[in-house]
Amino acid sequence: MTPRLEFEPKEEPKEPSKCMRFLSLLWKFCSCVFSHVILVSLVVAYCLLGAYAFATLEAEHEREVKRSIESLRGNMTEDLWKLTNKDVILVDTNWTDSAMKMLKNFETDLLKKMKKEGWDGSEDTDNIQWTFTGALFYSIIVITTIGYGHIAPKTQSGKVVTIFYAILGIPLMLLCLSNIGDIMASSFRFLYWKVCCYVCTKPPRRRRPRNTRGYSVRQVGRYSNRNPSLRRSVRASQRSADSALGLSESMTRSSYSDTECRYHNPEGPEVYRRSEASGVRPSTMSRYSDIPVASPRVKGGRMTTGTASLDRKLIVTPTEANKFPVLFNKYALDPEDEPKTESSRGTNEPVEAARDVERGRSLGRNTDTGPGAASRVSGLGTRSLPRHLSVVNPPGNHHHRQRSQPPPEIREPVLVEMESMKRPSRMRRAQSYYGKADSMRSGPALPLAVPGRPYRREAPSPRVMSPMGFAVHRQIYEDDFDIDYYDYYVEDNERAIAQRIKPVPIWLCVFLVVSYIFGGAFLFSEWEDWNFLDSAYFCFITLTTIGFGDFVPAHRLHAEKSIALCSLYLLFGIALLAMSFNLVQEEVINNVKSVAKRLGIIKNNDDDDEDEED
């Protein structure tokens, strides 16, 4: 391992970037193809398969039920005949009473047939519900979790198959719908801003850090509606993990960076610095803070843990310092390169000071003695600004020094940690342990500020504040992070930039959904002979996936046609809902957050924004 590491730096400069680019392209292509084409065809194939299976399983049973109705009525006639023949003299009231009783029984039988055995009310054995089309509709109804229940499996095998079919199908459908919703959202956003509002280029309105948001909303959304894509759910889980536990540092960084860059604009270094200060530039910060750790010797030790990444190798190359801004700033700094370099050049002094502070801090962490802590505390005021600057400065001037200098000092903590990771398989624990230790250590220094810290704009959270600790944490997650990073940064890049200044107004989305419902109501009232209210009610119940099933299409029109129309309507409608969720999410959450802040309920804003979202 180690020898390879040593010669690698020399051949480094070109290859990794090429291969990473290739990898990212490949990844992008694969994910694109997979998510959009294969997924849709998979869902269609799954529906067809389900339709075939259910039609075979249930059709025969339905025919039997229909035949049994005939015999039921025959029995009834027979009974009436017997009743009539029983007595020689027929008394009006007596006969009518008995007949009423029989009719009541007959009624109950019919009721049972309909409710329990799924009889649809007609006796024509050729005209069954479980045709291929009906079963296809049923499959769609199941995997969208609408569940009208107008046809339901009545055989044992049908029920079992339904359960397993739903277990597999529901996640598939969610994935597909959220993908479609994503595509529709981006295209709609594009349409809206290119076509409708070409002129208006809104300045950004919010620069609040987004740490305080109620993250769990997302999850619920993921769980119960079609909204979030896989990518999004990654973020959601990270966020919720972070909000709930405040421990999964590195992953949340990435999510923050993504959202932050949507709202923080290339207005000037000031804004930018703030976002940086709150720990939002994961790529640059983490990688640069990696540098000391990645000096060959230490890295050799680290390699044994099995977490070496292309990036780190890149970082190690001492001669190619000028390269990494190219590589990494590409992601993190796209439009903001100019102001930042300027500002960093303008403030060289703080950089030095901050680095000293950092070094002191890292020492202090290592030994946990007084001086380190003292310098840490003293460095508090300037920390946020200079750290960022030292991190972003591209010319590599400081990095050279930083890289060349630290090893003697910094190797220590790393090695100590390596030792303390007695069990490599439990790196996560060890890592979290360090994270906690770190936050605890900064706790006494700022006893009051710690709880409120995540809520404040200027103050980064304790975990982020110590770059070395951060770097140490990041070691393990580095690779993961890169994967993630590529996964959605590359493909999200353009969109993120587009989203940054171009939120689609909420009212438009609400209007879209409402008009879709009303349009559907109008269409269905034409097709199905329902009145308008009934149709609107049907559309609402369908699109919210409540699905009572008291109104189901396909009674008037030709069954196949109306089923096809209804399926199209609901599939597109759910995708549309996903799209509008996608569009208004950020906007609404921010609105509600501000409202909640005004009310003083910071943490509990989640439901309000859901309220408005719906």
Partner 1 sequence: MENRSWSSSSRRWRGSYRRKRRKPWGERLADWTRNFIAFLFSNVGIVGLVVGYTIAGAFVFTAIEGKHSLKRSGDVARLRYFTASNLWEVTLEENTIRESVWRNRVRAILKKYQKDIVEAIRNGYDGTEDNKQWSFAGAFLYSLTVITTIGYGNISPRTEWGKVVTIVYAIAGMPLFLLYLSNIGDILARSFKWTYARCCLCRCRRKPRGAGAPPPRDAARMNQWQIVKVHGGELETSSIEQEDSSSGGVAEDEEDEDEDDDDDEDSYDPQQVTVPLTLCLAIMVGYVCGGALLFSKWEVWDFLDGSYFCFISLSTIGFGDIVPGDEIYSSEGFELSFVFCSMYLMLGMALIAMCFNLMQEEVMAKIRTLGRTARHIFRCDR
Asked if residues 328 and 438 have their Cβ atoms less than 8 Å apart, the reply is no
Q: Does 241 bind partner 1 (CB under 8 A)?
A: yes
Which residue in the set 6, 87, 334, 611 belongs to the binding site for partner 1 (CB under 8 A)? 611
CB nearer to partner 1: give 99 or 377. Answer: 99
Positions 19 through 48 that interact with partner 1 (CB under 8 A): 19, 23
Interface with partner 1 by CB under 8 A: which range of 274-282, 328-336, 426-434, 558-566?
Answer: 426-434
CB nearer to partner 1: give 36 or 456. Answer: 456
Asked if residues 62 and 128 have their Cβ atoms less than 8 Å apart, the reply is yes
Q: Which residues does 215 contact at the CB level (< 8 Å), separation at least 6?
A: 236, 239, 240, 242, 243, 244
Min separation Cβ 458 and partner 1, Å = 10
Which residue in the set 456, 495, 500, 502 belongs to the binding site for partner 1 (CB under 8 A)? 456
Q: Does 426 bind partner 1 (CB under 8 A)?
A: yes
Number of H helices and E strands in the chain, helices first, is 29, 0
CB nearer to partner 1: give 93 or 201. Answer: 93
Min separation Cβ 245 and partner 1, Å = 4
Min separation Cβ 541 and partner 1, Å = 7
CB nearer to partner 1: give 238 or 499. Answer: 238
CB nearer to partner 1: give 392 or 543. Answer: 543
Asked if residues 359 and 388 have their Cβ atoms less than 8 Å apart, the reply is no
Rg over alpha carbons for the chain, rounded to the nearest Å, is 32
Report residue 368 as tokens. 């946990």
DSSP 195: I
Report residue 329 as tokens. 């700033």
Q: Does 353 bind partner 1 (CB under 8 A)?
A: no
Other C-beta atoms within 10 Å of 165: how many? 22
Among residues 576, 578, 553, 574, which one has the least CA distance to residue 564?
553
Positions 370 through 409 that interact with partner 1 (CB under 8 A): none
Asked if residues 12 and 317 have their Cβ atoms less than 8 Å apart, the reply is yes
C-alpha distance across the termini of the chain, in Å: 55
Number of alpha carbons in the 13 Å side-chain half-sphere of residue 543: 27
Report residue 512 as tokens. 């879209």
Min separation Cβ 483 and partner 1, Å = 4
Which residue in the set 32, 197, 416, 599 belongs to the binding site for partner 1 (CB under 8 A)? 599
Taking CB under 8 A as the rule, which mask of x and - marks residues 143-182 in contact with partner 1? --xxxxx--x-x-x--xx-xx--x---x------------
Asked if residues 457 and 278 have their Cβ atoms less than 8 Å apart, the reply is yes
Please give the Cα distance from 22 to 19 (Å, whole number). Answer: 5
CB nearer to partner 1: give 282 or 394. Answer: 282
Which residue in the set 191, 197, 546, 568 belongs to the binding site for partner 1 (CB under 8 A)? 546
CB nearer to partner 1: give 11 or 494. Answer: 11
Which residue in the set 168, 196, 483, 568 belongs to the binding site for partner 1 (CB under 8 A)? 483
Interface with partner 1 by CB under 8 A: which range of 141-149, 176-184, 405-413, 570-578?
Answer: 141-149
Min separation Cβ 371 and partner 1, Å = 22
Q: In a 3-state reduction of DSSP, which class is residue 249?
A: helix
Q: Which amino acid is at 386?
A: P
Min separation Cβ 395 and partner 1, Å = 29
Interface with partner 1 by CB under 8 A: which range of 253-261, 265-273, 351-359, 433-441?
Answer: 433-441
Q: What is the DSSP string of 506-547?
A: HHHHHHHHHHHHHHHHHHHHHHH---HHHHHHHHHHHHTT--
Which residue in the set 550, 556, 561, 594 belongs to the binding site for partner 1 (CB under 8 A)? 550
Other C-beta atoms within 10 Å of 262: how many? 22
Positions 69 through 108 that interact with partner 1 (CB under 8 A): 69, 73, 76-77, 80-81, 84, 90, 92, 95-96, 99-100, 103-104, 106-108
Q: Does 581 bind partner 1 (CB under 8 A)?
A: no
Positions 487 through 526 that interact with partner 1 (CB under 8 A): 487
Please give the Cα distance from 560 to 550 (Å, whole number). Answer: 19
Q: In a 3-state reduction of DSSP, which class is residue 566?
A: helix
Q: Does 603 bind partner 1 (CB under 8 A)?
A: yes
Which residue in the set 42, 183, 220, 490 belongs to the binding site for partner 1 (CB under 8 A)? 220
Asked if residues 151 and 138 have their Cβ atoms less than 8 Å apart, the reply is yes
CB nearer to partner 1: give 143 or 579. Answer: 143
Positions 301 through 320 that interact with partner 1 (CB under 8 A): 307, 309-310
Q: By CB under 8 A, how many residues form the interface with partner 1?
A: 115
Task: Please state at what angle helix 407-420 crosses helix 296-303, rounded to 10 degrees.
Answer: 10
CB nearer to partner 1: give 352 or 534. Answer: 534
